[in-house]
Structure 1
Amino acid sequence: MNRITACATAALTAVLSAPVLAYEEGSFILRGGMATVAPDTSSSALSANGNKIGNTGVDVDNGSALGLTGVYMFRDHWGVELVAATPFSHDIEVVGEGLGNFDLGETKHLPPTLLVQWYPMDTQSAIQPYVGLGVNYTAFFDEEINSSGNAALKSIGATGDSKLSLDNSFGLAAEAGIDFAFGADQRWLFNMSVFWMDIETDATVKVPGIGKVTANVDIDPLVYMAGLGYRF
């Protein structure tokens, strides 16, 4: 019984005396959670073969997916973060008086982002706010015109189903977040973060019988993410 007690005491002492992992040079941080992209959309008026179509525009709805980030601390207080995610899906709408409001279609995108981060608190702090600045590349794919979009375009002269394409985007990105460490050795983290991304795309709809309908769209979303992390 004494041996069992001694072993248990030694194990507990080892856990309690284990060094707290810190935000120091050479450490790694992985985070994951639900991310929501909330666009702050503005666009030029739609243009058909170079001719402006009244008071029209494009709107982009929110989309959610699994967000993943990895951080390498290249110096005390300083890290470099790669942001990835499973594909986000967004509905696209035409708005305004020129054509009326209608659902046009949808697109998916992936937003790989690279940021340099600063952690201002003591490297041993269990509560760690941070900010970051970097660049974002947004790749659009699986663009589709839905049935309501094709019906609306046919009502203004389209002779068949239309095709949507969106140009990929490259721009600035910024973030702010906070980690709350928990667990015996504080390896686990609860994380909340928000990103801003400069995303701009040229949207083109090839409309049979009419030609090309285009618009320049600033999406510029805030991306909200909450989840768990682990420090190595």
Structure 2
Amino acid sequence: MKSIAALAGLLVSMSATAYQPGELILRSGAATVSPDTGSSALFLDGSELAGTAVDVEDGTALGLTGTYMLTGQWGVELVAASPFSHDIEVQGLGQPLALGDTSHLPPTLLLQWYPRLGGSPLQPYLGLGVNYTAFFDEQVDGAANELFAALGATGEADLSLENSVGLAVEAGVDFSFGQDRRWLLNMSVLWMDIDTEAEVHVPGVGTIAADVELDPLVTVAGLGYRF
């Protein structure tokens, strides 16, 4: 009888750990976007400014994801976040020039695969999908406007970045705990293909443009719950 009870307890534990069709998994945590920036030289009205490039700094925000389990091993995840903010610099003009900053939102849709690990509290997963990055609230730094004024600008410069659509790849792991193992400690890493064109319109001077590849790693650490 004790053996039967132990086996029944093991089966209950395994079923509580395994993700089930129809479950909704919500996760949230600190998300850091670390761009692997690659940039063309800057061009002023089509003329190359040799030796120049754009660099984009890291940004951290609240990451939010929701996964709907289609089966016990396949799910669809929507990645969202509060706005990220990034400082933008220009290299190649002697000292780095603080050009400005931008905010962005990176909604991403992923198909996820959850391999079975029996009754283990660890549940890894992989995801593949598409990312849409929307840039907004672009601002030109005061130091950059001072430089443009010295070059003959007749007003403040305006910065704009094109929105981007690209591939997204994800790897993550949940550690389940608590009653019925429904609470989750979560860590994940996403790579996103983000390309944009940055333009600075300087009244009286011209338009400065560069093609920028951001291609960031997004690291997330936080909590989740299975409903």
TM-score w.r.t. the length of structure 2 is 0.91
Change (3 A) 1:80 1:132: same
Residue 181 of structure 2, aligned match among 177, 186, 190 = 186
Q: Which amino acid aligns with 1:76?
A: G
Cα distance in 1, alignment partners of residues 29 and 95 from structure 2? 38
The aligned length equals 217
Residue 149 of structure 1, aligned match among 136, 144, 147 = 144
Q: Which amino acid aligns with 1:112?
A: P
Change (3 A) 1:73 1:161: same
Residues 14 and 119, structure 2, Cα contact 8 Å, conserved in 1: no
Q: Does 1:213 find its partner at 2:212?
A: no
Q: Does 1:140 find its partner at 2:135?
A: yes
SS at match of 1:76: coil
Residues 19 and 185, structure 1, Cα contact 8 Å, conserved in 2: no
Q: Does 1:33 find its partner at 2:29?
A: yes
Change (3 A) 1:100 1:46: farther
Over aligned residues, Cα RMSD in angstroms? 1.8
- Report Cα offsets for 1:130-155 as digits up to 9, x if no partner: 11000000000000102112112223
Q: Which amino acid aligns with 1:144?
A: Q
Cα distance in 1, alignment partners of residues 202 and 120 from structure 2? 58
Partner of 1:89: 85
- Report Cα offsets for 1:109-145 as digits up to 9, x if no partner: 0000000111112365421011100000000000010
Residues 24 and 123, structure 1, Cα contact 8 Å, conserved in 2: no
Cα distance in 1, alignment partners of residues 98 and 123 from structure 2? 43
Change (3 A) 1:216 1:225: same
Q: Does 1:45 find its partner at 2:41?
A: yes
Residues 23 and 123, structure 1, Cα contact 8 Å, conserved in 2: no
Q: Which runs of 5 or more residues in structure 1 are unaligned? A: 1-12
Change (3 A) 1:130 1:172: same
Q: Which amino acid aligns with 2:42?
A: L
Partner of 2:75: 79
Report how far residue 31 of structure 1 moved. Answer: 0.2
Flag the structure with larger Rg. 1
Q: Which amino acid aligns with 2:81?
A: A
Report how far residue 191 of structure 1 moved. Answer: 0.1
Cα distance in 2, alignment partners of residues 24 and 18 from structure 1? 11
Q: Which moved more, 1:167-176 or 1:123-132?
A: 123-132
Cα distance in 2, alignment partners of residues 177 and 19 from structure 1? 21
SS at match of 2:22: coil
Change (3 A) 1:226 1:107: same
Residues 65 and 79, structure 2, Cα contact 8 Å, conserved in 1: yes
Q: How does 1:95-114 map to 2 (within 5 A)?
A: 95-97=91-93, 100-114=95-109
Partner of 2:4: none
After TM superposition, the runs of 4+ consecutive aligned structure 1 residues lying more than 6 A away are none
Query: Could you tell me the percent identity over the aligned residues?
Result: 60
Change (3 A) 1:163 1:121: same
Cα distance in 2, alignment partners of residues 80 and 90 from structure 1? 29
Cα distance in 2, alignment partners of residues 154 and 163 from structure 1? 13
SS at match of 1:136: strand
Q: Which amino acid aligns with 1:146?
A: D
SS at match of 1:75: coil
Report how far residue 100 of structure 1 moved. Answer: 4.6
Cα distance in 1, alignment partners of residues 24 and 196 from structure 2? 34
Residues 45 and 54, structure 1, Cα contact 8 Å, conserved in 2: yes
